[in-house]
Amino acid sequence: MNTEIIGIVVMFLATLLLAVPLGRYIARVYAGDAVWTDKIFGPIEKLFYKVSGINPAQEMGWKQHLAALLTINMVWFLWALFCLLNQSWLPLNPDHNPNQTPDLAWNTAISFLVNCNLQQYSGESGVSYFSQVYALMFLQFVSAGTGMAAAAVVFNALRERTSEKLGNFYNYFLKSCTRILLPLCLIIATIHVFEGTTMTWKGIDTLTTLQGDTMHVSRGPVASFVAIKHLGTNGGGFFGANSAHPIENPTYLTNMVQMIAQILIPFAMVFAFGYYTRKKKLAWVIWSVMTIGFLLLVIPAIISEVQGNPMIGKMGISAGSNLEGKEMRFGATASAFWSIATTVISTGSVNAMHDSFMPISGMNMLLGMMINSFYGGVGVGFLNFFVYLILAVFIGGLMVGRTPEFMGKKIEAREMKIAMIIALLHPFLILAGTALSSYFTAHDTNMGWWFADAAGKHNASGWLNNPSYHGFSEMLYQYTSSSANNGSGFEGLADNNPFWNITTGIVLLFSRFLPIIGPVAIAGLMAQKKFIPESSGTLKTDTGTFGLLIFAVKVIIAALAFFPALALGPIAEWLSMK
């Protein structure tokens, strides 16, 4: 137990020690300063610009940034959809996996496009190597780069000046991929190869076990996929079991590397903001608020899993830790730490089955995704926090009777309206989706193909393998994971049917692009305003007091929006075990 706790403390501290210099490096990359990667990747970037005809020096306004972002994402979506619908005849399919159905391909293409990776298929049998690499892994890179580029636009807008020009989206995007994601992925993938993760184009291998049984083992170019799935906070597994699979995550060292990788850039982006805007103290306040929220979720989860299941104790059996659905290689403590980190960060990868965790742990996973701004995904985590920051500045200004200002720019009606729409969109998508699925489940409606699954069932009752409170939690989790661009799931839910594929796909689209459009629009509008130097009457935003205000705003909004739903699911399940 003590060793396991030391392990997670080491992982957290190692991430922080790496994130501070990485944040400084990211800030220099976005500012256009000279960095050591210029000589390596500069010529490659020039080739991209020459072939595409893009001028990286051409400055864009915030509307032009968003137009470029949305247009290029549409192209990527169509490419992924083509690959998934035609993978049976495309190359690199040694296991002869079939095409995906239209509704599943719709869901998968959108899910990887929006950095969610909500996998309603099993990687071994659901996609070919061509789709894994040239569609899904490609989207894992570019979706992460998109989020980081959007954050860079906001960084630029918040500098101490007045401007309508906020850099070039394609420049920020390409540098995010070449200067940040690619070098780190090469290091992470190399570690995994040496630890036993496969990196091959060969198909299923047939092995004979020590007991003399025959075993069929799937392989593939796994190491490269694992690197970007975590570094880009994507989370999609090459295999159905994700990072609980012994090839995808073979040792405790790879478990530590994957854990550090998924937290690293969300940490670093906060510090990059501080270096880029020369507001280092504010960056530490933001990071501290995020960390307090993370610890308040992860500590109860660890305690809950280590204490075990009280229902087993009532049977007179000494169960110890709750090890159902967990890998013995990692244990209850490291699995609980991962479960909160992956939901707080919006990675969504798993090294244990979340459906088997105790109710308190499940509730804290849900809360991490519901709040969706304690670290968050690469780039977009900061954007989500920025919305709450604007709300806190406005509320703080009203409390002290001053015009709300942030970093020398007044916050007025337009900015507040956008911030409130984005803040309320997240709970609306989650609760509306859960209400709809709960209605169909309660009425067990037969709607033919809309509900049909692989087994031919046409009724909503076939969705749930668990009754009562936990079944409700499974549906709540699915929409929460979709809206938070997370991708993990309570896998007791039978979700590969047109209803879940289509509805979660719609939620994925709205929950990805509107929370990017909103913060970029707010920052762009603020950048155009006259810069006002700080004075004695300015509300200080780089203090612990203001940090507590931000935290309170987050908690109050989450409690008002989600407590009734949590009371029907994990809280009721926990009370029923007493």
Neighbours of 540 (CB within 10 A): 12
Cα–Cα dist 208/192, whole Å: 24
- Got the DSSP string for 387-401? HHHHHHHHHHHHHHT
Neighbours of 31 (CB within 10 A): 16
* Residues β-bridged to residue 221: 199
Comparing CA positions, the residue from 187, 54, 213, 69 lying closest to residue 521 is: 69
Comparing CA positions, the residue from 498, 492, 502, 500 lying closest to residue 448 is: 498
Q: Phi and psi (nearest 5°) for 323?
A: -105, 5
Q: Tell me 60's DSSP state.
A: -
Cα–Cα dist 454/464, whole Å: 14
Q: Tell me 241's DSSP state.
A: T
User: What is the identity of the amino acid at 96?
Assistant: H
Would you state the pLDDT for residue 41?
A: 93
Tell me if residue 456 falls in helix, strand or coil.
Answer: coil
Burial 271-304 (b: 16+ CB within 10 A, else e): bbbbbbbebbebbbbbbebbbebbeebbebbbeb
Cα–Cα dist 42/57, whole Å: 14
Cα–Cα dist 417/558, whole Å: 19
User: What is the identity of the amino acid at 235?
Assistant: G
- How far is CA 462 from each of CA 155, 415, 448, rounded to the nearest angstrom? 47, 45, 13
Tens place of pLDDT per residue across the chain (578 aa): 568 899 999 999 999 999 999 999 999 999 999 999 999 999 999 999 999 999 999 999 999 999 999 999 999 999 999 999 999 999 999 999 999 999 999 999 999 999 999 999 998 999 999 999 999 999 999 999 999 999 999 999 998 777 888 999 999 999 999 999 999 999 999 999 999 999 999 999 888 888 888 888 899 999 999 999 999 999 999 999 999 999 999 999 999 999 999 999 999 999 999 999 999 999 999 999 999 999 999 999 999 999 988 887 777 776 678 888 898 888 899 999 999 999 999 899 999 999 999 999 999 999 999 999 999 999 999 999 999 999 999 988 888 777 788 888 889 889 999 999 999 999 999 999 999 988 888 776 655 555 555 555 555 667 777 878 999 999 999 999 999 999 998 888 888 888 899 999 999 999 999 999 999 999 999 999 888 877 777 778 889 999 999 999 999 999 999 999 999 999 999 998 87
Please identify which residue in the block is written with the tokens 């699925």. Answer: 437
Run of H or E residues at 172: helix 169-175
Beta strands 405-406 and 409-410: pairing type? antiparallel
Please identify which residue in the block is written with the tokens 């799937």. Answer: 218
Written as six digits, the tokens of 411 are 């916050």
Please tell me the pTM assigned to this model: 0.94
Comparing CA positions, the residue from 364, 377, 391 lying closest to residue 147 is: 377
